[in-house]
């Protein structure tokens, strides 16, 4: 295979090689599809056309349609910007808030010592 035929092959198949997304767990796929649908519904409720919405977010209409379908290949930054334009960023900041991380809080609590010993003179009681 000469260099020209290799370049032709790579040019034809580059998008297949480089643009594949690793498989996602089904709950993640469902959550992204729901998020995309919710974004689309919010845009429609505000009566914002796709061309104007895409211009406000500085993306193409094609990327906006991917967002509204819940495509995992779209960056989190674009999803966040779309939510900002729709006025929905308040909940975005609390997605991984430590106060709502039940598993993390439970694990942290399990690591706490069972007893705390007082050391030195501060721990002694005077008679």
Residue 2 included in any domain: no
The CATH number given to whatever domain includes residue 46 is 1.10.260.40
The pLDDT, as a whole number, for residue 100 is 84
Residue 49 included in any domain: yes
Q: What is the DSSP string of 8-27?
A: HHHHHHHHHHHS------HH
Q: Which residue has the tokens 């580059």?
A: 14
The residue segments making up the domain with residue 61 are 24-94
From first to last of its 127 residues, the chain has per-residue pLDDT tens of: 677 776 677 666 665 555 565 789 999 999 999 999 999 999 999 999 999 999 999 999 999 999 999 999 999 999 999 999 999 998 888 888 888 888 888 888 888 777 777 776 655 555 5
What total of structural domains would you count in the chain? 1
Put simply, whether the predicted model's pTM sits higher than 0.85 gets the answer no
Rounded distance between C-alpha atoms, residue 95 and residue 101, angstroms: 10
The pLDDT, as a whole number, for residue 56 is 97
Q: What is the DSSP string of 52-119?
A: HHHHHHTS-HHHHHHHHHT-TTS-HHHHHHHHHHTT-TTTGGGTT-GGG-HHHHHHHHHTS-S-----
The pLDDT, as a whole number, for residue 19 is 55
């Amino acid at each position: 295979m000469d260099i020209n035929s290799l370049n032709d092959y790579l040019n034809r198949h580059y998008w297949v090689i480089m643009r594949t997304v690793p498989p996602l767990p089904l709950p993640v796929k469902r959550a992204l599809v729901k998020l995309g649908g919710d974004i689309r519904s919010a845009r429609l409720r505000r009566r914002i056309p796709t061309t104007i919405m895409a211009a406000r977010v500085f993306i193409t209409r094609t990327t906006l349609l991917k967002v509204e379908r819940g495509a995992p290949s779209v960056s989190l930054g674009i999803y966040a910007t779309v939510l900002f334009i729709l006025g929905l960023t308040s909940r975005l900041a609390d997605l991984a808030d430590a106060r709502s991380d039940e598993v993390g809080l439970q694990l942290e609590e399990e690591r706490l010592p069972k007893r705390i010993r007082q050391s030195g003179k501060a721990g002694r009681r005077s008679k």
